[in-house]
């Protein structure tokens, strides 16, 4: 019943704001234009279409607001009026009452706001779909007064999200059962991933932990700033962090006037993204313009400032290696290797012909090389790849949905900063270096150092384990061994060689452990 009511409400919002007319009028067929005029007759649809779309998404709740945020980064695919209006969803969602924010803070810490902060601004400085932010000041453990940002969770979020997710699961079931591509697209798994990330966003302690991890990972890069978390004042529904000062990355005119090198900023963004993805396997996955600023502080001038860490993505070592090999093969235009990787990973059926898949990938990607970003629509590339994947029954990988979303955000940011940015040539050296490190001697020694303590602990147990195994299989093993020795007189030499090799390997591990303990590596 609750899903039926929610579905009815969505239909009512669509009709109230004239979104049905907006969709019909976007088609080129004259008869669809006529239907659009008929269905809009008698409804007061005086507001601009972008305003109507934004207000409808706001009324529908956080999931739909996030959908609008993603759309707002694709100015190449949207009319300018709609893109400008949807951009307001990034940090200008209508705020909730300051009294509710204060009550939430006082309930979380069981203390009046005046005892926690030396100064607290009741009016929020930013309001998004999940939470809103207030500026404040507090005295830290060292007795210094610090400027902080206080993030407060929007009340009543969980029931609304649960209703929308129920609807999405239902629709995913319909797609899977009714669509020819249903099983290949894995809609249920994709919704399950979305479910996980939305619930993660509702836990601000998890967000604080993610921010701390990213801050550690990025310390040596000197390209991005991530705020410090004040752990004494972090709870599930309230988060207190260092206040960061800068210019929103979407305000390119202000950045130019401040002297920021936009071309370098665009290249740095690509470096940050690929470092987080391939070096760390832990990346900021909500990089829309409302969450990215640029520092104007003289000590950190021109660096990125990342905010809002409610959604982060993780990749396994297998995912990283597979993606890196794919990217590297793309950049080298080695389409045969791309096809082989898809078959080896199980993304396409094993009987797929390599030459056919190679030709299809070449037809999609080859026209886009050596072009500046302004001449490339990644949306069109993805559309053509989707058509190709349908033909070859490529299975959608739900664990990579966040990475795809983040890549679209990065392209949107790069397009605004430097339309002439060559995304391919900027990323290629980084990926080739990363791949060399993964298979080179340095990686070998690091892996050996990591495993040396484990092997050193295991070695003394090997004789007992071997004895137990032989005793357990004494009868059959002895008969088989006698038969083998009768047939091959020289097997004893082979066994001796194996024993000597095992002793040599054990000695090598012991020596390695000694070297590690004395920090020779």
> Token pair 């093993």 is at which residue?
477
- Dig out the tokens for 278 from the structure: 């391939």
> Are residues 372 and 422 in contact, defined by beta-carbon separation less than 8 angstroms?
yes
- 420 noted as active-site residue: no
Helix/strand/coil percent split, the chain, to 5 = 65, 10, 25
* Distance between CA atoms of residues 204 and 235, nearest Å: 7
Coil vs helix vs strand at 145: strand
**Residue among 221, 76, 91, 84 at smallest CA distance from 149:** 91
> Are residues 55 and 41 in contact, defined by beta-carbon separation less than 8 angstroms?
no
Catalytic one of 91, 286, 308, 319: 286
> Are residues 73 and 273 in contact, defined by beta-carbon separation less than 8 angstroms?
no
* Distance between CA atoms of residues 434 and 46, nearest Å: 55
* Distance between CA atoms of residues 269 and 273, nearest Å: 6
**Residue among 210, 202, 199 at smallest CA distance from 276:** 210
> Are residues 427 and 270 in contact, defined by beta-carbon separation less than 8 angstroms?
yes
> Are residues 17 and 55 in contact, defined by beta-carbon separation less than 8 angstroms?
yes
Burial of 156-179, coded b for 16+ CB within 10 Å and e otherwise, reads ebeeebebbbebbbeebeebbeee
Antiparallel, parallel or unpaired: β 224-225 and 131-139: unpaired
- Dig out the tokens for 302 from the structure: 């021109």
Q: What angle do CA 476, 480, 482 make, to 5 degrees?
A: 120
- Dig out the tokens for 185 from the structure: 């697209």
Task: Output the CA torsion sign for 183, 186, 191, 192.
Answer: positive
What does the CA dihedral 372, 374, 375, 378 come to, rounded to 10 degrees?
Answer: 100
Give CA separation, 94 vs 6, 28, 65, 161, 290, in Å.
21, 35, 11, 18, 15
In Å, the largest CA–CA distance within the chain is 99
- Dig out the tokens for 331 from the structure: 């950049």
What residues act catalytically?
Answer: 286
């Amino acid at each position: 019943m609750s899903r039926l009511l929610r579905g009815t409400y969505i239909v009512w919002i669509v009709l109230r704001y004239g979104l049905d007319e907006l969709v019909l009028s976007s088609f080129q067929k004259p008869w669809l234009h006529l239907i659009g005029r008929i269905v809009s007759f008698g409804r007061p649809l005086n507001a601009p279409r972008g305003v109507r779309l934004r207000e409808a998404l706001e009324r529908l709740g956080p999931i739909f607001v996030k959908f609008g945020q993603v759309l707002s980064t694709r100015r190449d695919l949207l009319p300018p009026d709609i893109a400008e209006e949807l951009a307001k969803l990034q940090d200008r969602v209508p705020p909730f009452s300051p009294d509710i924010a204060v009550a939430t803070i006082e309930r979380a810490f069981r203390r009046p706001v005046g005892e926690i902060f030396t100064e607290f601004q009741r009016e929020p400085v930013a309001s998004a779909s999940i939470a809103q932010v207030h500026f404040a000041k507090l005295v830290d453990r060292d007795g210094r007064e610090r400027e902080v940002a206080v993030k407060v969770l929007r009340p009543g979020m969980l029931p609304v999200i649960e209703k929308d997710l129920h609807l999405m699961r239902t629709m995913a079931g319909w797609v899977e059962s009714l669509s020819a591509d249903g099983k290949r697209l894995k809609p249920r798994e994709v919704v399950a991933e979305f479910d996980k990330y939305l619930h993660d966003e509702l836990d601000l302690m998890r967000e604080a932990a993610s921010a701390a991890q990213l801050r550690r990972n990025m310390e040596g890069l000197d390209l991005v700033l991530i705020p410090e978390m004040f752990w004494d004042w972090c709870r599930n529904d309230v988060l207190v962090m260092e206040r960061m000062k800068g210019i929103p990355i979407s305000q390119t005119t202000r950045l130019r006037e401040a002297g920021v090198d936009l071309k370098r900023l665009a290249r740095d963004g690509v470096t940050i993204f690929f470092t987080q993805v391939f070096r760390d396997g832990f990346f900021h996955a909500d990089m829309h313009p409302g969450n990215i600023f640029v520092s104007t502080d003289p000590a950190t001038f021109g660096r990125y400032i990342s905010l809002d860490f409610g959604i982060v993505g993780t990749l396994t070592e297998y995912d990283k290696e597979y993606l890196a090999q794919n990217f590297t093969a793309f950049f080298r235009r080695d389409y045969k290797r791309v096809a082989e990787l898809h078959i080896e990973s199980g993304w396409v059926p094993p009987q797929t012909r390599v030459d056919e898949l190679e030709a299809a990938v070449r037809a999609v990607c080859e026209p886009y090389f050596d072009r500046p970003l302004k001449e490339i629509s990644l949306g069109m590339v993805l559309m053509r790849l989707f058509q190709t994947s349908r033909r070859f029954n490529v299975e959608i990988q739900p664990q990579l949905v966040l990475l795809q979303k983040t890549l679209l955000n990065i392209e949107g940011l790069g397009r605004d900063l430097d339309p002439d940015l060559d995304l391919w040539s900027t990323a290629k050296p980084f990926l080739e270096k990363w791949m060399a490190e993964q298979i080179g001697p340095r990686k070998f020694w690091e892996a050996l150092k990591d495993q040396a303590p484990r092997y050193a602990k295991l070695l003394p147990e090997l004789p007992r384990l071997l004895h137990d195994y032989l005793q357990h299989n004494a009868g059959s093993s002895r008969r088989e061994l006698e038969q083998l020795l009768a047939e091959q007189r020289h097997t004893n030499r082979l066994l001796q060689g194996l024993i000597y090799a095992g002793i040599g390997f054990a000695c090598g591990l012991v020596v390695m452990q000694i070297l590690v303990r004395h920090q020779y590596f």
